[in-house]
Amino acid sequence: MVWSPEKTEVKSWNEWDTLRHVIVGRADDCHIPPEEPALDAKVPEDSDMRGQWGRRPQETIDRANELLDNFADQLRKRGVRVDRPVSIDHSQPVTTPDFHTDSQFGCMPPRDVLLTVGHEMLEATMSYRCRWFEYLNYRPLLKQYWEEDPKFRHEAAPKPRLTDEDYHPDYLSDKIGVEKRLKWAEEKFFVTTEEEPLFDAADVLRFGKDLVVQHGFTTNLKGIEWLRRHFPDHRVHTVNFPGDPYPIHIDATFTPLRPGLILNNPQRRLPEEQREMFHKNGWEIVDSAQPAHNTPPPLCYSSTWLSMNVLVLDPKTVCVEKSEVYQAEQMDKLGMEVVEVELRDAYAFGGGLHCCTADVYRDGDCEDYFPNQ
Ligand code: DAV
């Protein structure tokens, strides 16, 4: 069936087929949340964000929104339908019978919250208290898709309780040191416990019939098991990237570009034994280029590896952040047409080009790219 911009349809099975319809986040009312166990574990020990919280300065919100609006326009000019979330009031505290936190986060990275698999969009459990209600930013869109597309399945994973039982107290210190963090990551000792299923949508990559999920700070093994039971027609694979002292979200680490080709962060290589399924099926895993920057922008949670947080528009075309010249050069060598998008001043609001988008529709069907299991 041919896609038409007049008719809403939710469908996306992978990360690379031609993108037709997408959500682009907003920087509106974004807050630096107060301290809480899972968030603290991710903030680098020498970060300028330690110890401060509250609404981000208006001029930085305006600048980030300018870049996100421009990105949305660039996509529209290429024929992609673009929707935007409706920001809730993120200054509101979150209180449940189990926990309290004084503010929420924002709605710049829909990729963290919404997982599109075929005709379904699934709201992730999330693993930070400040992100418990983040799905509400996307509910007006999901409501609209549900009303306009009779095949759309709107699903939500069980809300987690997020009591102290969900977090290892060892991670509460800001004096752990990178060496110990790397050792813990190697041992798969992460900040989240196995109290209950937890996952962020950005830990999942879609390869047709196969879902590849990172086990780390934001997704635990029970979260992966929950996904396995929820998608019985898929094969769900657990991966780890031991070189990452702050392992959250797979999309600055492992980036499929087209069938048969994946970029892998050279500081976070997929361990040899986990490469087998890719090699057996003719997939090549290549080291990504180096980031163009030595440090992230101010007040940013993410690492400089947002350089590889790209948005694939089709198997020959990819959006790369404008200042990431080495990443763009590598894409060119790999035969991809590069669309430059300026986004660096929005990184602090929740990530890069992959993070700030969520698929609504891509061409193509659910294919088996790994027949040799
Ligand atoms: O490398 O800091 C960022 C991923 C954001 N979704 C990193 C991971």
**In this predicted structure, what is the pLDDT of residue 46?**
75
Length of the chain: 373
Minimum-distance ligand 1 atom for the alpha carbon of 248: 8
DSSP letters, 73-101, are HHHHHTT-EEE------TTS-EE-SS-EE
* pLDDT, position 7: 94
Q: Is residue 12 one of the residues assigned to a domain?
A: no
Flag whether 179 is in a domain. yes
Q: Which residues span the domain enclosing 113?
A: 19-362
From 249, 251, 319, 354, the catalytic residue? 249
Q: Are 35 and 277 a contacting pair, CB within 8 Å?
A: no
Q: Is residue 11 part of a domain?
A: no
Can you tell me whether residue 312 is helix, strand or coil? strand
> Helix, strand or coil for residue 116?
strand
Mutate to test the pocket of ligand 1, among 114, 251, 255 (most ligand atoms within 8 A of CB): 251
- Count of domains forming the chain: 1
Strands (DSSP E) contained in the chain are: 19-24, 31-32, 54-55, 81-83, 94-95, 100-101, 114-117, 120-123, 153-156, 204-207, 210-214, 235-239, 254-258, 261-264, 284-287, 311-314, 317-321, 337-341, 357-362
CATH of the domain at 139: 3.75.10.10
- Residue 122, strand partner residues: 115, 155
Q: Is residue 52 part of a domain?
A: yes
CA distance 250 to 292: 20
Q: Is residue 6 part of a domain?
A: no
Instruction: Assess if residue 367 is contained within a domain.
Output: no
Query: Which are the contacts of 326, defined by CB distance < 8 A and separation ≥ 6?
Result: 289, 290, 291, 292, 307
Distance 39 CA to ligand 1 centre (A): 13
**What pLDDT score does 172 carry?**
86
Of 248, 268, 324, the residue with max ligand 1 atoms within 8 A of its CB, to mutate for a pocket test, comes to 248
Is the minimum distance from the CB of 314 to ligand 1 under 6 angstroms? no
Among protein residues, the one with the nearest Cα to ligand 1's atom 2 is 302
Give the SS3 label for residue 11: strand
Q: Is 108 helix (H, G, I), strand (E, B) or coil?
A: coil
Q: Where are the alpha helices (DSSP H) in the chain?
A: 37-42, 58-77, 110-113, 139-148, 178-186, 221-230, 276-280, 325-333
Strand, coil or helix: what is 218?
Answer: coil
Q: Which two tokens stand for residue 302?
A: 């993410």
Q: Whose CA is nearest to atom 3 of ligand 1?
A: 302
Residue 89 lies in a domain: yes
Q: Is 366 a catalytic residue?
A: no
Q: How far is the CA of 151 from the centre of ligand 1 (A)?
A: 33
> Does ligand 1 have an atom closer than 6 angstroms to the CB of 249?
yes
Rounded distance between C-alpha atoms, residue 332 and residue 66, angstroms? 27
Task: List the pLDDT tens digit at each of the 373 positions of the chain.
Answer: 678 888 999 999 999 999 999 999 999 999 999 988 888 777 777 777 777 889 999 999 999 999 999 999 999 999 999 999 999 999 999 999 999 999 999 999 999 999 999 999 999 999 999 999 999 999 999 999 999 999 999 999 999 999 999 999 999 887 899 999 999 999 999 999 999 999 999 999 999 999 999 999 999 999 999 999 999 999 999 999 999 999 999 999 999 999 999 999 999 999 999 999 999 999 999 999 999 999 999 999 899 999 999 999 999 999 999 999 999 999 999 999 999 999 999 999 999 999 999 999 999 999 999 999 9
Q: What is the pLDDT of residue 1?
A: 64
Whether the CB of 303 sits within 6 Å of ligand 1: yes
Q: Retrieve residue 278's tokens.
A: 């890719």
The verdict on whether 249 is a catalytic residue reads yes
The residue assigned the tokens 């919100």 is 61
| pLDDT for the residue 266 | 98
Residue 134 resides in a domain: yes
DSSP string, 63-74: HHHHHHHHHHHH
Give the residue carrying structure tokens 């682009």. 24
**What pLDDT does 6 receive?**
87
